């Protein structure tokens, strides 16, 4: 019985450790410094490192027009979900 409880406890602890906060969305607001269409990377002033554009990224078609303007970028694990211009 003690072995079964020990195994169940270990499995519960491993499941909690493997979760690692996946699904957390990060919002960055700043000036879109650069956009490289070839490597599909953008750099936002205020964000740490370059972010990668994916085929599912909303607003990716307008990135060339947004360079130098204030944008709001929502990403997960450095992969961009959406890019939108911020008014003001």
- What is the pLDDT at residue 72? 93
> pLDDT tier at 19 (50, 70, 90 boundaries)?
low
Dump pLDDT digits (tens) for 53-78.
989 999 989 899 999 999 999 998 88
Dump pLDDT digits (tens) for 32-54.
999 998 999 999 988 888 999 98
In b/e form, how buried is each residue of 53-75, taking b as 16+ CB within 10 angstroms? beeebebbeebeebeeebbebbb
**Domains located in the chain, CATH noted:** 26-85 (2.40.50.320)
How distant is the alpha carbon of residue 73 from its chain centre?
8
Q: Is residue 68 left, alpha or beta, with left meaning phi > 0 and alpha meaning psi from -120 to 50? A: left
Mean pLDDT, rounded, for 21-40: 87
């Amino acid at each position: 019985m003690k072995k079964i409880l020990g195994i169940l406890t270990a499995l519960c602890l491993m499941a909690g450790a493997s979760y690692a906060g996946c699904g957390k969305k990060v919002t960055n607001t700043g000036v879109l410094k650069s956009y490289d269409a070839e490597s599909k990377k953008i750099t936002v002033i205020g964000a740490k490192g370059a972010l990668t554009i994916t085929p599912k990224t909303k607003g990716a078609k307008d990135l060339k027009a947004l360079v130098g303007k204030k944008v709001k970028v929502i990403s997960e694990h450095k992969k961009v979900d959406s890019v939108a211009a911020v008014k003001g």
